[in-house]
Amino acid sequence: MAAIYDQLASIYDAWSQADPADSDSVEFYKKLGQSEQGIIVELGVGTGRIALELAVSGKNIIGIDISDNMLGICQDKARELGVSDRIHLITNDIREFDLPEPADLIYLPFRTVGHLLNQNDRLKLFRSVYRNLNVGGRFVFDHYMFSEHWAKSNERKQRLMCVIPCENKKFIYVHDIYLYDYENQIMDCRIIVENVDEVGLVTLKRYIAFSFSWVTIAQIQELINEVGFEVDDMLGEFNGNKWTEQSENQIWVLRKTKK
């Protein structure tokens, strides 16, 4: 996964902002972090879209990511914003990490749990988070509610995600294509990145591919029971609405209540 996001780093912000859930998700985690008085950790911090806003608001935050290129962009942004002293970045796999001291809030935003393709890897994540939380600390993460209807309607279709303006009237076009393995709950994502010159000719075309999983409520509940978390809340939307069977998202607020 490090190699994938090293390739995506330069286009990541524009690509992710094309997702309809992006702005609501970012706002949700910003409010979550701003309300926390203790140690805050963002897993999958990437280019720092959430963490840097928290740092600007005065919070100290630890960010963990597996991609050096993504963290490099985050560090450059922190320097430009004058908050390098409030954000500590660590290159690490989120399945196996250890903090210098326990945290009070660990969050994993923007469906990043989907990069863990099986229950064993997700269990490693949950155990690492639990181990690194103070008693009373929270673990907050989200994922979408998988829609087979949406998947079958959009499978194998090339979707234009964003157009990135460059110098000298040049552009970068980013497209996604999704392929589904319904039995194993795996989506194979093919990202097509095209550099287009000022007269409309494609001067460079590259493909970036990765696999992504969707998880069910029952699978998350299994992990909660295995590790020992308590469910503080379960939301269905980033505006704070409770989860229902019609919800498009599953947003979990878990708490460590004992050692």
**Tens-place pLDDT, residues 157-211:** 999 999 999 999 999 999 999 999 999 999 999 999 999 999 999 999 999 999 9
Residue 150: which residues within 8 A CB-CB, separation 6 or more?
none
Across 51-76, b (16+ Cβ under 10 Å) vs e yields bbbbbeeebebbbbbbbebbbebbbe
Give the mean model confidence (pLDDT) for residues 7-29: 94
**Tens-digit pLDDT profile for residues 74-108:** 999 999 999 999 999 999 999 999 999 999 999 99
Burial label for 84, CB within 10 Å (0-12, 13-18, 19+), is: middle
**Tens-digit pLDDT profile for residues 186-196:** 999 999 999 99
Q: What are the structural domains of the chain?
A: 2-145+215-255 (3.40.50.150), 148-213 (2.20.25)
Residue 108: which residues within 8 A CB-CB, separation 6 or more?
42, 43, 44, 94, 125, 129, 139, 140, 141, 142
Give the mean model confidence (pLDDT) for residues 24-39: 95
**Tens-digit pLDDT profile for residues 107-124:** 999 999 999 999 999 999
Q: Rounded to an integer, what distance in angstroms lies between the CA atom of residue 241 and that of residue 207?
A: 38
Q: Rounded to an integer, what distance in angstroms lies between the CA atom of residue 94 and that of residue 67?
A: 11
Q: 110 — phi, psi (to 5°)?
A: 55, 45
